[in-house]
Amino acid sequence: MHEPSEAADRLAKQIWESALEVHRVLGAGFLESVYERALEVELSARGIEFARQHPVALTYKGVPVGDARLDFLIGGLVVVELKSVDLLHAIHHAQVLNYLRATSLELGLLINFNVPLLKDGFKRIVLT
């Protein structure tokens, strides 16, 4: 199994700590957009470079077919997809994998804030 770079792993730890703080303060039960904005505030406060709603051009057999938007592209290394759902499904995991393929990045984090303990809603996804 291929592992992400040390820089991406360090960044993932900082993202985890930021998300944990957002969840500690807000708890579960809000819309995804609330957590997205709160995480933006927390990342900024920590001096972490990010792009929110980052556009990604999608192609099919080399032909442009549309755009996707990443909730966050952090440090140019880590894709972060936020959710606020009762249960994460395989399609959420697939979404992050597709974003990794589209960006040629190796590490994605899927974070579901609608859980009592954030560790239960946090998934680290590596493109192999």
Domain boundaries, the chain: 6-126
Q: Does 1 have pLDDT greater than 90?
A: no
Tokens standing for residue 93: 């995991």
pLDDT at position 4, please?
Answer: 86
Is the pLDDT at 67 greater than 70, yes or no? yes
Q: Which of 1-10, 32-41, 77-86, 114-123 has the lowest mean pLDDT?
A: 1-10
The mean pLDDT of 22-31, rounded to a whole number, is: 97
Record the pTM.
0.94
